């Protein structure tokens, strides 16, 4: 009995202990759960505080501080898409492309439903030329997209990733919103052509015309498109249809002129240009730009230059009106005369242009260049001084003004202009060399031989390709009858500039004085390859041919030299007497 009682007591004690332990365990678990909830709440509170602080730093431009705070936010919440998006923006600002892409991808992967994350990542892929990835991202959002600009970006990505059928489908969808417009039509034409579906391509162009039957501008666009594709017959057919309805439509005549020029029909082109220029529908500025584009083809070394000159002159006859006060018109007309080497008329036009726009540096430069070619050194110096007041930091103005003073034998003024201009030259060894050459030439003219040589040597050190130095040195030796030294000097220059017409001409003159007429003729002929319209070189070549026994050819070339502007009295005498005379 006692034994059983003792056993029962022990059992009760054990049960009590177990209950106490379970109770403690329950209390402990409950406290742990509360602690965990407190930690999560505290962590979230810290995150929010740092996130807002990071945004504040970003907004005021403290990007480094913002990055540190946002990076700490990721320690607390590694998959927070908003933080990743913010960091992508910050790292892009700093130019860190790798981190920008990493965080943009993380933002998108943690919240694929966010349209702006997809667009940001798509732009980054596009910049990296990963067009397929770009297109895939746009494809996820495009169905609900209303912004047409985004749709155009999607089309661009599709085209660049060679997904032409999808691009056409998207363009069709855009066309529902915009209507039939040229940009869409021409893009779809190109895509269908790439796919080999030519009928569909042609249909797109026809649709553009059919949707706008009364608008000739659309027909012009299609005609121009065909012309750019070298499909001249199709282009011409459309233009002709425009002119049937509207014979005086200026734009159509100008387009037809473009077609004519592309097919070497110069006379037809100018006939159409004249009709276009007579039309008030074509703005004066457009006409001037067309003329400007034709000017280089009026230079006398161009094919058909005579016909081009006549045509351009006729066009100027249609539009030239000084009462308009249009500086560009006088500028381009001056350029026209410059290409013809009629510097007196060019000078007149540039002066009129400067009266309208005295602030144009290029106009002043053109005027000074024309006066230099006219050898009107008094005006060159006077206008150079005016230009220098307007453009005191332009060394080329100082150079031309100094040349004017030098040629007037005002050496003191010339030296001052050359030194002032030389010191303005920055990172232009050729221009610096020209200043030094002019200083050397000025000293040689004053018989300061040592100073002249010093500056010539300096000129070649600055720019070894300064042909004026070699030519002047060789001519000086030639005039002193030091023919071998002259030949050695000119050959040094030719080694550096083997195609220089000026050096080859001097070389020919040296060989001519050595009575090596055949070799001299070959040198002159090489010079003419570089400038076949130079009347002086033509005269030299003819002289060498005459003394080498080719009389008839020499007489013919003397005549050509006169045609190309050589007004030398001795040349005229040689041509008329059909015999050679030494220079006086």
Domain membership of residue 531 (yes or no) is yes
Domain membership of residue 270 (yes or no) is no
Domain membership of residue 410 (yes or no) is no
Residue at token pair 């734009």: 251
Alpha-carbon torsion (76, 82, 86, 89), positive or negative: positive
In 3D space, the residue among 274, 244, 489 whose CA is nearest the CA of residue 266 turns out to be 274
Domain membership of residue 470 (yes or no) is yes
CATH label of the domain that carries residue 487: 1.25.40.10
In 3D space, the residue among 204, 135, 140, 196 whose CA is nearest the CA of residue 175 turns out to be 204
Quickly list DSSP for 362-430.
HHHHHHHHHHHHTT-HHHHHHHHHHHHHH-TT-HHHHHHHHHHHHHTT-HHHHHHHHHHHHTT--S-HH
Q: How far apart are CA 570 and CA 575, in angstroms?
A: 9
Q: Which domain holds residue 512?
A: 464-584
Q: How far apart are CA 387 and CA 383, in angstroms?
A: 6
| Total count of domains within the chain | 1
Domain membership of residue 122 (yes or no) is no
Q: How far apart are CA 157 and CA 289, in angstroms?
A: 36
- Contact present, 23 and 39 (Cβ < 8 Å): no
In 3D space, the residue among 420, 399, 419 whose CA is nearest the CA of residue 468 turns out to be 399
Domain membership of residue 580 (yes or no) is yes
Tens digits of residue pLDDT in 425-457: 999 999 999 999 999 999 999 999 999 999 999
Low-confidence ranges of the chain (pLDDT < 50): 1-38
Q: How far apart are CA 311 and CA 283, in angstroms?
A: 19
Q: How far apart are CA 28 and CA 34, in angstroms?
A: 10
pLDDT for position 41: 72
Tens digits of residue pLDDT in 491-545: 999 999 999 999 999 999 999 999 999 999 999 999 999 888 899 999 999 999 9
Domain membership of residue 535 (yes or no) is yes
Domain membership of residue 529 (yes or no) is yes
Predicted TM-score (pTM) above 0.85 = no
pLDDT for position 35: 43
Residue 190 tokens, joined: 């190109």
- What share of the chain has pLDDT > 90, as a percent? 72
pLDDT for position 19: 42
Buried b (16+ CB within 10 A) or exposed e, 123-155: ebbbeeebbebbbebbbebbeeeeeeebbbbbb
pLDDT for position 25: 38
Chain mean pLDDT for the chain: 90
Nearest-5° angle of CA 536, CA 482, CA 436? 70
């Amino acid at each position: 009995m006692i034994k059983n009682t003792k056993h029962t007591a022990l059992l009760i004690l054990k049960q009590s202990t177990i209950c106490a332990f379970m109770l403690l365990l329950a209390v402990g678990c409950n406290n742990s759960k509360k602690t965990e909830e407190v930690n999560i709440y505290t962590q979230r509170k810290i995150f929010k505080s740092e996130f807002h602080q990071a945004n504040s730093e970003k907004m005021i431009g403290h990007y480094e501080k913002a990055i540190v705070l946002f990076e700490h936010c990721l320690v607390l919440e590694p998959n927070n898409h908003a933080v990743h998006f913010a960091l992508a923006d910050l790292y892009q600002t700093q130019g860190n492309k790798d981190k920008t892409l990493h965080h943009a991808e993380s933002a998108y992967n943690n919240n694929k439903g966010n349209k702006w994350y997809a667009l940001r990542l798509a732009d980054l892929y596009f910049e990296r030329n990963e067009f397929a990835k770009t297109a895939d991202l746009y494809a996820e959002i495009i169905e609900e997209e209303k912004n047409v600009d985004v749709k155009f970006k999607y089309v661009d990505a599709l085209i660049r990733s060679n997904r032409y059928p999808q691009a056409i489908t998207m363009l069709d969808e855009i066309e529902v919103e915009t209507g039939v417009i040229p940009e869409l039509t021409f893009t779809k034409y190109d895509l269908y052509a790439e796919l080999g579906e030519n009928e569909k391509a042609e249909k797109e162009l026809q649709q553009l015309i059919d949707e706008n039957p009364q608008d000739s501008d659309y027909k012009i666009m299609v005609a121009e498109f065909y012309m750019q594709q070298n499909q001249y017959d199709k282009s011409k057919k459309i233009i002709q249809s425009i002119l049937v309805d509207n014979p005086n439509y200026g734009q159509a005549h100008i387009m037809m002129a473009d077609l004519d020029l592309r097919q070497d029909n110069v006379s037809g082109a100018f006939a159409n240009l004249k009709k276009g220029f007579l039309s008030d529908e074509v703005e004066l500025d457009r006409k001037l730009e067309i003329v400007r584009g034709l000017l280089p083809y009026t230079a006398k070394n161009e094919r058909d230059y005579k016909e081009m000159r006549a045509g351009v002159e006729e066009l100027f006859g249609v539009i030239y009106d000084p009462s308009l006060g249009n500086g560009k018109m006088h500028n381009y007309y001056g350029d026209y005369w410059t290409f013809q080497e009629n510097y007196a008329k060019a000078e007149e036009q540039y002066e009129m242009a400067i009266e309208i726009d005295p602030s144009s540096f290029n106009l002043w430069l053109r005027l000074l260049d024309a006066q230099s070619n006219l050898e009107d050194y008094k005006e060159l110096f006077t206008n150079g001084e005016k230009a220098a007041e307007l453009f005191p930091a332009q060394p080329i103005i100082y150079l031309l003004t100094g040349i004017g003073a030098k040629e007037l034998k005002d050496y003191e003024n010339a030296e001052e202009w050359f030194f002032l201009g030389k010191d303005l030259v920055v990172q232009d060894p050729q221009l610096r060399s020209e200043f030094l050459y002019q200083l050397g030439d000025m000293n040689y003219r004053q018989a300061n031989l040592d100073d002249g040589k010093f500056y010539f040597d300096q000129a070649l050190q600055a720019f070894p390709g300064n042909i004026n130095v070699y030519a002047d040195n060789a001519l000086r030796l030639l005039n002193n009858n030091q023919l071998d030294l002259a030949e050695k000097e000119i050959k040094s220059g030719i080694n550096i500039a083997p195609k220089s017409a000026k050096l080859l001409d001097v070389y020919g003159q040296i060989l001519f004085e050595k009575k090596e007429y055949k070799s001299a003729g070959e040198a002159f002929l090489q010079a003419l390859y570089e400038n076949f319209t130079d009347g002086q070189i033509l005269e030299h070549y003819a002289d060498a041919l005459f003394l080498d026994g080719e009389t008839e050819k020499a007489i013919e070339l003397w005549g050509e030299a006169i045609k190309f502007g050589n007004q030398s009295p001795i040349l005229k005498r040689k041509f008329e007497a059909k015999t050679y005379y030494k220079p006086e």
